[in-house]
Amino acid sequence: MPIKAQSAVEFLSTYAWAFLLMAIVLVGLYYFIVLPAQSIPPRCQFAYGLVCEGMSVGTNSTSTLVNLYLTNGQPYDLAGNVIATASVGNYGTASATCATTDIVQGGIILCSIPMPSKVPVGNNVAGRLYVNASVCLSGPVTGCTQSQSVSYVGNFTTQVSANANKIPVSLSISVSPSSFSHASAPQSVGLNAHVSIFGNPVRAAGVLFTISSMPAQISASISQGIALSDPNGTASTSLYVASASSSGSLTVNAVFAGITATNTVTLT
C-alpha cells in the first residue's frame, strides 16, 4: 500500500470516533433546537375565568396582529366592552376592544390586537395577555343591575406566521325554502347561519340577522334579530313574509364579528 494511502487509513482509523461524535452532536442540535423552533405550536392559557380556544400572531408587510378566540368560562355574563392587551417580548404592548359587546356564559370573545411594531415572520415569541371586563353579578346581562370590574391574566407562546389577517372566522347563511310562490304568503322561511373560528364550530356566537334588500310589493320581517349559535355553530331564526302582491326577491344577511354572509329568498 502506498505511504499516502496508508497514512489516510491510519488517520481515519484514529479519528473516526471524533467524526462520529460530531455527527451525533449535529443531529442532536437539529432535533432539539432547530426542529422545535420550526414547529412550535400555539399555546394560550389564562389562570381562571377565560378559556383560550385558539390564538395566532401574524405579520404581513405593514403590521403584526395578535388574534385571540376566547370563551367565557365562568358562571356570569360579561357586560359592556371587553378590552384585551397583549405584551409581546421586546416588541411592545397594545390593546384593543374585543367582540362581541356582551358575552353570555360559555359565549365567545374575539380579539384582534394590532402591535406597535412588526414581529419578524418565523420568530418564536412569548408574551402576556390581560383582559379587562365587567362581570354581571345580578343575573343575565340583559337585566344586569350589579356588575364588577375583573381582570384576567394569561400567557402565550407561538411562532409568528406570515398571515396578519383578523381572526379566521367563517360565516354562511342558508334559507329554507329558498323560493315559493308569492300567492302563498303569508309564509315563514327558516334562516340558519353557521359560524366557525379556526375551523371549529362556535357555541353561543351572537349572530345578527337582517334584511338588506326588499322590493316595495313585499312585506317581510325577521322574527328574532339576534340569535345565539348552538354547539354545532348554527344560529337559527325565521323570515316572516306577511304579504306579496307580485314576484320579487329578498336579500337576507347574517352578521358576526364584522363579517357578513348573504343569501336570497325568491318569490315567484
Residue labelled with grid coordinates 353570555: 104
For residues 63 and 105, state if they share a domain. yes
Range of the domain at 34: 1-39
Whether residue 33 lies inside any domain: the answer is: yes
**Amino acid 84: pLDDT:** 95
**Amino acid 32: pLDDT:** 42
For residues 29 and 47, state if they share a domain. no
For residues 85 and 134, state if they share a domain. yes
For residues 15 and 68, state if they share a domain. no
- For residue 89, give the CATH number of its domain: 2.60.40.1480
For residues 50 and 150, state if they share a domain. yes
Rounded CA gap, 123 and 125, in Å? Answer: 6
pTM as predicted: 0.67
- For residue 234, give the CATH number of its domain: 2.60.40.10
For residues 198 and 260, state if they share a domain. yes
Distances (CA, A) of 138 to 27, 147, 154: 60, 7, 26
**Amino acid 95: pLDDT:** 97
Whether residue 263 lies inside any domain: the answer is: yes
Number of independent structural domains in the chain: 3
Per-residue model confidence as pLDDT tens for the chain (268 residues): 555 555 555 554 565 555 555 655 554 444 445 444 455 788 999 999 999 988 999 998 889 999 999 999 989 898 888 999 999 988 999 999 997 777 888 888 889 999 999 999 999 999 999 999 999 988 887 778 888 999 999 999 999 999 887 778 899 999 999 999 999 999 999 999 999 988 889 888 889 999 999 999 999 999 999 898 998 999 999 999 999 999 999 999 999 888 999 999 999 9
Whether residue 164 lies inside any domain: the answer is: no
**Amino acid 144: pLDDT:** 84
**Amino acid 39: pLDDT:** 58
